[in-house]
Amino acid sequence: MCSSVAEVKRKSNGAGCAGAELRTDGFFAIAEGVAGTPKCFTAGSVGVLGCGSLGAPAPSSCAPLDRVSNPGCSALDAPWACQKDNELWSLAKSEYAGGGVLCCEGAAPKAEAELPNEPWAFGSGAPFSGSGPSECGDLTLSTTNTEPWGDDAFRNVPGGATAVVIVTFSKPVSAFYVSMKLSGEKAYVTGFNVPPTRVTGRVSFERQEVRLPKGVQEGNAVLSWVGVRADALSWVAGGKTRATVLSDAFAVECNGRR
């Protein structure tokens, strides 16, 4: 499934919806919308972006995407349905007709549950830190204002200062994945030195900040850096009162190989 306006533009050589050659009426969604507002929306919440013959015309600044669901999927008829202010995560279709999702050409994506499969077993202490081998060379983790959680995970200290997490690699990696659990009021992850290319799970990703959707007290997330060449990645985690961000596993790739 296409993850962003940028990915559609890049993989279609700028053709976007025109290059999709859709042969049926419908709305074909991408994984970008109100919970991850793209730069093309300068104000307001307008729903999920996509291509097709259904939906409202997307703002011209969203090119090469041309359709949008509007708040609460008001521009889409049944069998499409979604909740206002939670369009991206509640979008559903109960029947085959009416479209689906827009897929970007390339290798099939890994299942989210399979991505981060390595615990931080080499780390310890408070703040949590350590180093160990990976398929892409040595990996080193350093943090501030963190504490261990179980034997091989860590989180920011509840009620303490924000935590800074830095992961460095002995040679550049092409992809990195990390799974997180956000809990409590206004838990967030931000301050990326290299923004992730994709964020999935029961969270929102807007203006380079991962947060829990309004009214949600707990959610899991997978942050993915794909198609990068990085020797260091970092982020900041925190939240209001005793909110926590737990990191329990990661995965790394070099030259497309895990």
Q: Which residues contact 108 (CB under 8 A, 6 or more apart)?
A: none
Report the C-alpha gap between 22 and 14 in whole angstroms: 16
Mean pLDDT, residues 219-223: 93
Instruction: Give the pairing type, strands 27-29 and 99-101.
Output: parallel
Question: Which ranges constitute the DSSP H helices of 78-202?
Answer: 87-90
Range of the domain at 73: 5-101
For residue 124, pLDDT over 80 is answered with yes
Whether residue 117 is found in the same domain as residue 88: no
Query: Is residue 106 in some structural domain?
Result: no
Mean pLDDT, residues 5-13: 80
Query: Is residue 107 in some structural domain?
Result: no
Query: Is residue 230 in some structural domain?
Result: yes
Whether residue 180 is found in the same domain as residue 141: yes
Top mean pLDDT of 74-78, 90-94, 96-100, 154-158 is at 154-158
**CATH code: domain of residue 200:** 2.60.120
Preceding peptide of 127 cis, ω within 30°: yes
pLDDT digits (tens, 9 = 90+) for 225-251: 998 899 999 999 999 888 999 999 999
Whether residue 144 is found in the same domain as residue 212: yes
Whether residue 64 is found in the same domain as residue 93: yes
Q: Model-level pTM greater than 0.75?
A: no
* pLDDT recorded at residue 34: 55
Whether residue 116 is found in the same domain as residue 97: no
Whether residue 84 is found in the same domain as residue 124: no
Whether residue 65 is found in the same domain as residue 121: no
* pLDDT recorded at residue 44: 53
Three-state DSSP at 38 gives coil
Query: Is residue 144 in some structural domain?
Result: yes
* pLDDT recorded at residue 42: 54
With CA atoms as reference, report the closest residue to 106 among 198, 25, 32.
198
Whether residue 127 is found in the same domain as residue 236: yes
Domain final residue pick, 70, 101, 132: 101
* pLDDT recorded at residue 40: 73
For residue 147, pLDDT over 50 is answered with yes
Q: Which two tokens stand for residue 147?
A: 């504490």
Indicate the number of domains in the chain.
2
Whether residue 86 is found in the same domain as residue 128: no
Whether residue 96 is found in the same domain as residue 130: no
What's phi and psi for 103, nearest 5 deg? -100, 135
Query: Is residue 84 in some structural domain?
Result: yes
With CA atoms as reference, report the closest residue to 118 among 143, 153, 148.
153
Domain final residue pick, 68, 101, 134: 101
Give the containing element (helix H, strand E) for 199: strand 198-201
Mean pLDDT, residues 209-238: 92
* pLDDT recorded at residue 45: 60
Query: Is residue 243 in some structural domain?
Result: yes
Give percent of the chain above pLDDT 90: 43
Q: Which residues contact 123 (CB under 8 A, 6 or more apart)?
A: 129, 130, 141, 148, 152, 154
CA distances from 212 to 86, 142, 188, 193 (A): 11, 25, 7, 21
pLDDT digits (tens, 9 = 90+) for 61-81: 888 889 999 888 999 989 999
Domain final residue pick, 101, 129, 164: 101
Whether residue 74 is found in the same domain as residue 174: no
Query: Is residue 154 in some structural domain?
Result: yes
Query: Is residue 21 in some structural domain?
Result: yes
pLDDT digits (tens, 9 = 90+) for 16-57: 888 777 777 889 998 876 545 566 765 556 788 999 999 999
* pLDDT recorded at residue 153: 96
Mean pLDDT, residues 96-121: 73
Whether residue 226 is found in the same domain as residue 126: yes
